[in-house]
């Protein structure tokens, strides 16, 4: 397991992706905002995947010296909230393992999440590009970047086209209006 670099803003583990700056946790399309202690706890565990992080270290890093709380109970609550968010369990852990009276260990695979540009740069060159059949690769990458910037415009255009199609099929257009009407129950 490799530890994510400090410069990385997003970390992927299991089916989750965490933005360490904002605390956004994604599970596919579902986005959750991790609150205070569970987020900090997850960051600490992700710094050293596969290694024991002692309860004492977690307490020292999660709460300042001048804080007076029941640290053990508060740490247990933070771990339980994190496990609940990650759909993990203490009895059968897949991400966070408890080492009784010692601490916790992150046991999931951790990797730095790659941006789409980085993923595109990692692709091997296609035979067509190397033979010059399609053109030069930098121009294609530049075109993809332009397309990506204009996706919101393209989405609006598609919605407008669907609206125009519904209008043309409606009673006001040339159709009978059955294809785009909402059904009434």
How far is Cα 22 from Cα 141, in angstroms, rounded to an integer?
A: 29
Whole-number pLDDT of residue 130: 46
Residue 134 tokens, joined: 């399609």
Q: Number of structural domains, the chain? A: 1
- Structural domain harbouring 102: 10-112
pLDDT digits (tens, 9 = 90+) for 51-94: 999 999 998 888 877 777 778 888 899 999 999 999 998 899 99
Does residue 150 sit within a domain?
no
CATH code assigned at 45: 1.10.10.10
Q: What CA–CA distances, in Å, run from 164 to 14, 140, 170, 175, 179?
A: 43, 32, 10, 12, 13
Separation of alpha carbons 32 and 64, rounded Å: 26
């Amino acid at each position: 397991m490799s530890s994510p670099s400090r410069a990385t803003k997003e970390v992927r583990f299991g089916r989750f992706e965490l933005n360490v700056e904002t605390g956004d946790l994604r599970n596919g399309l579902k986005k959750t905002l991790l609150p205070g202690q569970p987020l900090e706890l997850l960051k600490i565990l992700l710094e050293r995947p596969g290694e024991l992080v002692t309860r004492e270290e977690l307490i020292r890093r999660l709460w300042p010296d001048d804080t007076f709380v029941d640290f053990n109970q508060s740490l247990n609550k933070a771990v339980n909230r994190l496990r609940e968010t990650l759909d993990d369990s203490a009895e059968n852990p897949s991400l966070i393992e408890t080492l009784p009276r010692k601490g916790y260990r992150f046991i999931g695979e951790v990797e730095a999440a790659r941006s789409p540009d980085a993923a595109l740069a990692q692709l091997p060159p296609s035979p067509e590009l190397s033979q010059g059949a399609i053109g030069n690769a930098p121009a294609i990458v530049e075109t993809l970047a332009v397309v990506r910037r204009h996706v919101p415009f393209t989405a609006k255009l598609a919605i407008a086209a669907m609206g125009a199609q519904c209008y043309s099929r409606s009673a006001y257009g040339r159709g009978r209006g059955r294809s785009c009407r909402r059904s009434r129950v």
